[in-house]
Structure formats: structure tokens, C-alpha cells
């Protein structure tokens, strides 16, 4: 049971393993943004390519849905980012219960966006947890965990790819333990738990009254979606790659009287082909960006074609 790319990656691992995938459950198809095309989930595409039966109930725990799933007589149900909270009538259906593949080191980051928040919060490590499922959201007993270190320039997209690659082998290890009766049941410490909700596009609107280090992490944590942005001359300006400015002079701008002034929060400074943005604490240097209606580009290319004055304040 799963829906997005990370779940499709795990399904691919199961398909290529010794285990038999009897059926796949995913969320109902949805129209695209324009409403003129029906979009299949990544899991459905993978399942259809493998010739597997696909179930798409509106509510997986509804009696008729549970009955439909029960017809396949599953030994175990693997759940990966399915998108619905499952009830006990489904959790207790298989012989070995339901297990969940979660992209965080539980009990930290229960919920929908653990990968992004690991980057946004500047965590040193993340990982994958395999757990027995319980009635609560990501609250079940842990079978095993595997961790990886985050790179200094880690984005949510790159971490997503790394955890997707890790998830399949860790799941197979857990299934082996369940099959031979050695799987652990390690209760989660609820006092150490945290919850993260679905991201919104509004999260990407940058507030330069925050420190540069915090903003730099946020920018990386919102790649590829929803992306971090501000407005310049009433147009959206997406920031794709930034770093803390190492040039001390970047924090200052010369005013009309020839006096050096410290950059204000959100103020742009163009110097020697580089682009800087003032913040509440520190300065961001911008390496890749995208103006509304234009393609993503390197700063040097952007500045050659942009009509933006030095000292402009981003909104």
C-alpha cells in the first residue's frame, strides 16, 4: 500500500525479491492541475508495468475495501506513504500484521514530510524506520532502523533519492526477521516524538528577517517542491542554490552619497558578478535562481539579462 515515488521504489524492490506481491493498493487517480488529464500515482504506474492487480479505494478501512483486500489472503501488508490512516480492521487482517516503511528515525518526525524537515532543521542524520503498525500515526513498535549522514549541501530531493534507495533493502531485512521469528518490537518513546505536516506553497515565501543560516537550510529543504521564493518588481524570484556568503564585504552596500551601509534584510547587492541578499543575521550568496516566466539559470547569466538595480529590496 503506497502512493508516491518512494513507495514505488520500495514496490520495485519487492517485485524483484523472493516475495510474491499479491496486489497493490494506492490512492484514487486525480486530475492534473488543468483538469484535462487523469494522473496515476507512481505506485500504480509501477504496479501496472509489472502486471499486478491495483485497488484504489476512497477509504481503505471501509468494510467493503477491507473485504476486497482480504480476498487476496495477504500474509503481510507493507505500507509506504500511502496517505490514509488505517484502522484496526485492516491492520489486524494479515497473518503477520501491517508494517510501515517510514523515512525518518522514529519517533522523530512522525507524519507527512520527514525528509524535508530533516534538511530544514539542519539534522546531521536521517534514515529509514521499519515498524509494526498501530492505530496512531507512526506510533507502532520499531523493528529496525538504518541511518545515513546528511551532506552539507543536502536537499530534500537528494535525501529523498538516498532514502528511497535505502528503504528497499532495509524492508527486505525486516521481512526476513519477521519470517524467521526474530523481528524485534521496540516501543517508541512518545516523549521524544515530533510531528510534521504536509508542506504548503506558502512555506516557500522567504522572510529575510530570519538568519541566513536558517534560510539557506529552508531553501534546500523545499527543493524540488514547493521551492523557496521572494518577489522582485512584482515578479516571483525562486532561489535554487545559495550559501552563506564568505566575503565580509558582501554585507555592505554603497549608498548614493558614497557611504557604506550594512545590507538590510531582503536587500540585494550586486558585486563582481555575484549576487547577495541581506538577512537578519548574515548574508546569502545566490548561485542559481529563476525569475517568473524564465528558466532556471546561474547567477552570472541571470545578471547579464536582468534589469534589477543594486540595492533593490525583495518582498
Give residue-wise pLDDT tens across range 202-222: 999 999 999 999 999 999 999
Q: State the pLDDT at residue 36.
A: 74
* Confidence at 247, pLDDT banded by 50, 70, 90: confident
**146-175 pLDDT, tens digit each:** 999 999 999 999 999 999 999 999 999 999
Average pLDDT, the chain: 95
Mean pLDDT of 23-51: 92
At residue 256, does pLDDT exceed 80? no
How close are the terminal C-alpha atoms of the chain, in Å?
Answer: 42
Q: State the pLDDT at residue 118.
A: 98
The model carries a pTM of 0.94
Beta strand ranges found along the chain (DSSP E): 24-25, 30-31, 38-39, 54-55, 77-79, 98-102, 110-111, 125-132, 142-149, 195-196, 228-232, 235-244, 252-254, 260-262, 268-271, 274-278, 283-291, 297-298
For 156, phi then psi, to 5°, come to -60, -35
**61-95 pLDDT, tens digit each:** 999 999 999 999 999 999 999 999 999 999 999 99
Report which of 238, 253, 240, 256 is spatially closest to residue 294, judged by C-alpha positions.
238
Supply angle C-alpha 217, 223, 228, rounded to 5. Answer: 70
At residue 314, does pLDDT exceed 90? yes
Q: State the pLDDT at residue 75.
A: 98
Sign of CA dihedral 247, 249, 255, 256: negative
Amino acid at each position: 500500500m503506497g502512493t508516491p515515488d518512494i513507495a514505488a521504489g520500495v514496490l520495485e524492490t519487492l517485485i524483484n525479491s523472493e516475495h510474491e506481491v499479491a496486489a497493490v493498493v494506492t490512492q484514487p487517480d486525480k486530475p492534473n492541475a488543468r483538469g484535462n488529464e487523469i494522473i496515476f500515482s507512481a505506485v500504480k504506474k509501477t504496479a501496472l508495468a509489472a502486471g499486478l492487480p491495483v485497488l484504489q479505494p476512497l477509504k481503505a478501512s471501509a468494510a467493503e475495501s477491507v473485504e476486497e483486500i482480504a480476498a487476496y489472503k495477504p500474509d503481510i501488508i507493507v505500507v509506504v506513504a500511502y496517505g490514509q490512516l488505517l484502522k484496526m480492521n485492516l491492520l489486524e487482517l494479515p497473518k503477520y500484521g501491517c508494517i510501515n516503511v517510514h523515512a525518518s528515525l522514529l519517533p522523530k518526525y512522525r507524519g507527512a514530510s520527514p525528509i524535508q524537515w530533516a534538511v530544514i532543521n539542519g539534522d546531521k542524520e536521517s534514515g529509514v524506520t521499519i515498524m509494526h503498525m498501530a492505530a496512531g500515526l507512526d506510533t507502532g513498535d520499531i523493528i529496525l532502523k538504518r541511518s545515513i549522514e546528511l551532506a552539507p549541501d543536502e536537499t530534500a530531493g537528494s535525501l529523498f533519492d538516498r532514502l528511497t534507495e535505502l528503504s528497499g533493502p532495509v524492508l527486505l531485512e525486516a521481512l526476513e526477521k519477521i519470517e524467521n521469528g526474530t523481528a524485534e518490537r521496540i516501543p517508541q518513546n512518545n516523549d521524544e516524538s515530533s510531528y510534521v505536516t504536509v508542506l504548503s506553497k506558502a512555506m516557500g515565501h522567504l522572510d529575510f528577517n530570519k538568519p541566513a543560516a536558517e534560510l539557506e537550510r529552508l531553501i534546500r529543504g523545499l527543493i524540488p517542491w514547493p521551492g523557496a521564493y521572494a518577489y522582485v518588481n512584482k515578479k516571483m524570484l525562486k532561489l535554487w542554490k545559495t550559501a552563506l556568503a564568505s566575503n565580509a564585504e558582501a554585507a555592505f552596500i554603497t549608498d548614493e552619497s558614497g557611504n557604506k551601509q550594512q545590507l538590510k534584510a531582503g536587500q540585494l547587492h550586486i558585486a563582481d558578478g555575484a549576487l547577495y541578499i541581506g538577512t537578519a543575521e548574515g548574508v546569502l550568496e545566490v548561485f542559481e535562481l529563476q525569475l517568473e516566466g524564465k528558466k532556471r539559470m546561474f547567477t552570472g547569466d541571470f545578471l547579464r539579462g536582468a534589469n534589477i538595480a543594486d540595492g533593490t529590496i525583495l518582498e
